[in-house]
Amino acid sequence: MTPDAAAPTSATPAPEGTRRDFLFLATGAFGVVGTAAALVPLVAQLEPDASTIAAGGPVDVDLKPVAPGQMIIVRWRSRPVFIVNRPDKLLSTLQSPQLVSLLSDPDSQNHQQPDYAQNWHRSIKPEYGVLVGICTHLGCIPQFYPNPSPTTPTAAWLGGYFCPCHGSKYDLAGRVYKGVPAPYNLPVPPYRFVNDTTLRIGENPPDSSYDFDSIIQL
């Protein structure tokens, strides 16, 4: 796997754009991160060739280089997929009453994930978050701010994703905050573990038939 570090830049589109415009901008520019957010590499996937990726085929990802607290972005169906390694320190926040009280859909009641990710960590294994990185408001790419901060990117930040376009906030499980423009949690794609260190995006575990196209909103 060859890391392909993305240059920090701004992904803020014009405010009058339609959702389609925003999605176009987002998918054309993914891999970018904000200047103040954590640097996130856009990595090359294992195995699949360009035609497989274009057709939406499964994509294998080597998890070994993803250190605790880090995130990578891979491409699936021409969309950015965030894969984040969440150590205990970050996971503990996801169940804190302080955070949960601020979330719009803390129990993932809206169909934005498969059954196997309808839990407090929205994933198969708590330590690995897997999310489609497209804001459910108008399609910008949220930025990764994993650590709590009193000031950055907003006051009293608890760690998660911040969308600079119109200020939507998500926690490290992709759960959206109340009172922001984005209406839904970030989608979870179908995925499974091929082995302890290899993730396959685009394929469900053997006992699931989750259809990504059935989610409420990308």
Q: Which residues bind ligand FES (CB under 6 A)?
A: 22, 135, 137-140, 163, 165-168, 181-182
Angle value at C-alpha 208, between 82 and 117, nearest 5 degrees: 40
Cβ distance to ligand FES smaller for residue 66 or 138: 138
Residue 134: which of 200, 215, 53 has the closest Cα?
A: 215
DSSP state, residue 201: E
Cβ distance to ligand FES smaller for residue 137 or 175: 137
Cβ distance to ligand FES smaller for residue 65 or 181: 181
Cβ distance to ligand FES smaller for residue 21 or 60: 21
Residue 192: which of 204, 207, 174, 209 has the closest Cα?
A: 204
Min CB(161)–ligand FES separation in Å: 10
Min CB(15)–ligand FES separation in Å: 9
Min CB(91)–ligand FES separation in Å: 25
158: its two tokens: 């608890």
Hey, which residues does 43 pair with through a beta bridge? Answer: 3
Min CB(19)–ligand FES separation in Å: 8
Instruction: Say how many C-beta atoms besides its own lie within 10 A of residue 17's C-beta.
Output: 16
